[in-house]
Amino acid sequence: MNLGNIIEKIKDSGLLGRSGSGFPTGLKWEMVKKAPGKKKYIICNASEGEPGTFKDGFILENYPQEVIKGIEIALKTINNSMAYIYLRKDYYRKFKKKLEKLIGNLPIKFFKKTGGYLCGEETTLIESIEGKRIEPRSKPPYPSQKGLWGCPTLVNNVETFYCVAQIARDEYKGNRFYSLSGVKNPGVYELSEKLSVKQVLKITNNWPRFKFFVQAGGGASGRILLEKELNQKVGGTGSVIVYNPNKTKPIYLMKKWADFFFKQNCGKCVPCREGVYHLNQTLRKKPIDQKTLNDLLFALEETCFCSIGRCVATPFRSLIKKMNKL
């Protein structure tokens, strides 16, 4: 396997990070490789804390050798580097021994996740490894410039490293993994990243026989789509959750999201800390004050410190807009 041009191969493949951010993988590798520093770090993020997303667990269960190969390629490409695999607690218990056998003498260590959903954000993950308060950093500098312990750091998702291993062998076909829930054949499917939500459901024999709506891209931050809106890509973390409006009330979903974001909140910035708290309280009052609800969503969108806080409004906005059409 010739790794001399691996970054160019990754660029040519068009691979985007599979954590949900969609940042060009080849560009990120190039930035870390070129960044000045006597020591560099590589982190494989297996935190996977968003509801409805379970593709990384599937990959670690079925293709662990591919993930380790992708990390090994990164270690050989980025000089003076060592790696961490950041595993959420149940993944740590389930996969650590299997992964250790594959790692052998490679400079790869494990870190058991303590940070919840928040560690899907790469600077929060770095703070967690450093033993600091679990909250995001100001950017810039970006992790590729100054990450773990002040060193240039490459942070990629489990699926991203899986794809890199395929690219290195010229076997990458532009696929991605989809987590499907609320369907008759739930599970994880590897299909073309170019497929629409409609195509994913039909190809996997999961097109509902009832009126339905979908949450795409994530089980908390994902957007709500009606049946006529499914000719667009899934996006985000690749999750698709199907809901029957006759069995799932919109208020139930909103309360579930608000409770999740409230429990996962880091508390760093006032707009998110107070906004999510009051969002949770507003949804539990009857009748719901629509003006207060809209004001809170606006404040979250426009003033939160990090992208995780700003995306809180996405599912609420899209559901409220379409409630009378469900």
The CATH number assigned to the domain holding 279 equals 1.20.1440.230
pLDDT at 281 over 70: yes
- Sheet of 108-112, strand order: 108-112, 81-87, 40-46, 153-157
Instruction: Using pLDDT thresholds of 50, 70 and 90, give the confidence band for residue 1.
Output: low
DSSP category for residue 149: G
Rounded distance, CA 210 to CA 243, Å?
10
**Same domain, residue pair 13 and 162:** yes
Domain count for the chain: 3
**Same domain, residue pair 187 and 312:** no
The DSSP bridge pattern shows strands 175-181 and 187-192 to be: antiparallel
Instruction: Using pLDDT thresholds of 50, 70 and 90, give the confidence band for residue 2.
Output: low
pLDDT at 174 over 70: yes
Whether 88 maps to a domain, the answer reads: yes
Buried b (16+ CB within 10 A) or exposed e, 83-107: bbbbbbeebbeebeeebeebbeeee
Domain of 199: which CATH number?
A: 3.10.20.600
Dihedrals phi, psi of 93, to nearest 5 degrees: -65, -40
Instruction: Using pLDDT thresholds of 50, 70 and 90, give the confidence band for residue 112.
Output: confident
pLDDT, tens digit (0-9, with 9 covering 90-100), for 242-254: 999 999 999 999 9
Whether 1 maps to a domain, the answer reads: no
Give the structural domain span for 96. 6-168
Per-residue pLDDT, 326 = 82
Last-in-domain residue among 108, 134, 168 = 168
HSE (side-chain half, CA atoms, 13 Å) at 220:
25
- Higher-pLDDT residue of 188 and 285 is 188
pLDDT, tens digit (0-9, with 9 covering 90-100), for 31-87: 999 999 999 999 999 999 999 999 999 999 999 999 999 999 999 999 999 999 999
Find the range with the poorest average confidence among 147-151, 164-168, 269-273.
269-273
Read off the pTM.
Answer: 0.94
Per-residue pLDDT, 307 = 86
Instruction: Using pLDDT thresholds of 50, 70 and 90, give the confidence band for residue 176.
Output: very high
pLDDT, tens digit (0-9, with 9 covering 90-100), for 4-22: 699 999 999 999 989 887 8
Amino acid at 163: C
Rounded distance, CA 325 to CA 29, Å?
44
Mean pLDDT of 195-215: 97
**Same domain, residue pair 304 and 231:** no
Instruction: Using pLDDT thresholds of 50, 70 and 90, give the confidence band for residue 27.
Output: very high
- Higher-pLDDT residue of 17 and 181 is 181
Those residues whose C-beta lies under 8 Å from the C-beta of residue 147, and which sit 6 or more positions away, are 41, 122, 123, 126, 153, 155
Per-residue pLDDT, 197 = 98
Nearest by Cα to 28 from 101, 122, 95, 96:
122
Whether 301 maps to a domain, the answer reads: yes
Percent of the chain past pLDDT 70, that is, above it, reads 98
Those residues whose C-beta lies under 8 Å from the C-beta of residue 178, and which sit 6 or more positions away, are 55, 188, 189, 190, 191, 200, 204, 234, 238, 239, 240
Per-residue pLDDT, 308 = 87
- Rounded to 5°, angle at Cα 47 from 44 and 52: 125
**Same domain, residue pair 185 and 304:** no
Per-residue pLDDT, 277 = 94
Q: 6-13 and 25-34 helices cross at what angle (nearest 10)?
A: 150
Mean pLDDT of 89-116: 91
Instruction: Using pLDDT thresholds of 50, 70 and 90, give the confidence band for residue 115.
Output: low
* Number of CB atoms found within 10 A of residue 310's CB: 17
Per-residue pLDDT, 290 = 92
In this structure, are residues 61 and 167 in contact, taking their beta carbons and an 8 Å threshold? no
Domain of 142: which CATH number?
A: 3.40.50.11540
